[in-house]
Chains A and B, each alone.
Chain A
Amino acid sequence: MRSLLLALVVTLVSLAIAEGVLRLVGFEPAPPPLDPREHAADWGQPDPVLGWTNHPGTGHSNEPGHVAMTFGPGGERASAPAGEPPRTHSVLLMGCSYTTGLGVADDETFAWRLNERYPDVRFENHGVPGYGTYQSLLLLERLLRERRGSPPDLVVYGFIGDHVRRNAAALSWLRQLKTTRGLYEVPPHVTLEGDGLAEHPSGVVPAWPLERHSVLVRALHDLSFGPQPNRGRRNLLATSRLLERMNREVEEAGSHLLVAVLDDLPPRTQAFLADAHIAYVDCREPAFHSDPALQVGQHPSAKLHAIWSECLARAFDARGLLPPPG
Chain B
Amino acid sequence: MRSLGLLLLSLLFSLALAEGALRVLAALPAKEKAPAPAGDAVDAKDAAPDWALDDPVLGWVNKPGTGHPDEPGRVPMSFWPDGERASGPAPDKPAERRVLLLGCSFTEGFGVRDDETFAWRLNELYPDVRFENRGVAGYGTYQSLLLLERLLRQSHGQPPELVVYSFIGDHTKRNVASLKWLRNLKDSRGLFTVPPRVAVEGDGLATYPSGRIDYWPLERHSLLVGRLHDLWLRMSLADRDRQKIAATNRLLERMDREVREAGSHLLVAQLDDMPPETLAFMAQRNIATVDCIAPGYKSDPKYRVGGVGHPSGLRHSLWAECLQREFEAKRLL
Contacts and interface: CB of A to CB of B under 8 A. Distances in A.
Interface string A146-189: 10111100000000000000000000000000000000000010
B207 A198 contact: yes
B204 interface: yes
A48 interface: yes
B261 interface: yes
B211 A149 contact: no
Given A145-B261, A203-B201, A198 B153 contact: no
B328 interface: no
Interface stretch (B41-49, B119-127, B155-163, B224-232): B155-163
Nearest to A200: B206
A193 B211 CA distance: 9
A141 B149 contact: yes
Interface string B38-80: 0000000000000000001000000000000000000000000
Contacts of B152: 144-145, 149
A32 interface: no
B153 A193 contact: no
Interface in B115-159: 149-150, 152-159
A252 interface: yes
Contacts of B261: 142, 145-146
A145 B262 CA distance: 5
Contacts of B211: 193-196
A214 interface: no
A193 B209 contact: yes
A196 B258 CA distance: 23
B206 A199 contact: yes
B262 A148 contact: yes
A202 B209 contact: no
Contacts of B324: none
Contacts of A201: 201-206
A249 B153 contact: yes
A137 to B, nearest CB: 12
Contacts of B56: 195-196
A313 interface: no
A289 to B, nearest CB: 36
A198 B207 CA distance: 5
Contact of B258 (A145, A197, A253, A254): A145
Contacts, number: 78
B275 interface: no
B208 interface: yes
Nearest to B196: A196
Contact of A148 (B149, B150, B159, B205): B159
Nearest to B199: A198
Contacts of B158: 149
Nearest to A251: B153
Contacts of A196: 56, 208-211
Contacts of A144: 152-153
Given A142-B261, A201-B201, A149 B156 contact: yes
B209 A197 contact: yes
Nearest to B149: A141
A130 B224 CA distance: 52
A136 to B, nearest CB: 16
A249 B56 CA distance: 13
Contacts of B154: 252-254
Interface in A231-274: 249, 252-254
A202 B153 CA distance: 24
A252 B204 contact: no
B153 A253 contact: yes
A253 B154 CA distance: 5
A106 to B, nearest CB: 27
Contacts of A146: 261-263
A135 B204 CA distance: 15
Interface in B142-197: 149-150, 152-159
A199 B207 contact: yes
B316 to A, nearest CB: 29
A183 to B, nearest CB: 13
Interface in B234-256: none
Nearest to A204: B202
A48 B201 CA distance: 13
Given A48-B204, A196-B210, A201-B203, 9 more contacts: A142-B261, A145-B262, A150-B157, A151-B156, A193-B208, A195-B209, A196-B209, A198-B208, A201-B205
12 contacts: A48-B204, A144-B152, A148-B262, A149-B152, A188-B204, A194-B209, A195-B211, A198-B208, A200-B206, A201-B204, A249-B153, A252-B150
Interface of A: 48-49, 141-142, 144-146, 148-151, 188, 193-203, 249, 252-254
Which 10 interchain pairs have the tightest Cβ spacing? A196-B209, A201-B204, A149-B155, A203-B202, A194-B211, A145-B262, A253-B153, A199-B207, A145-B261, A252-B153
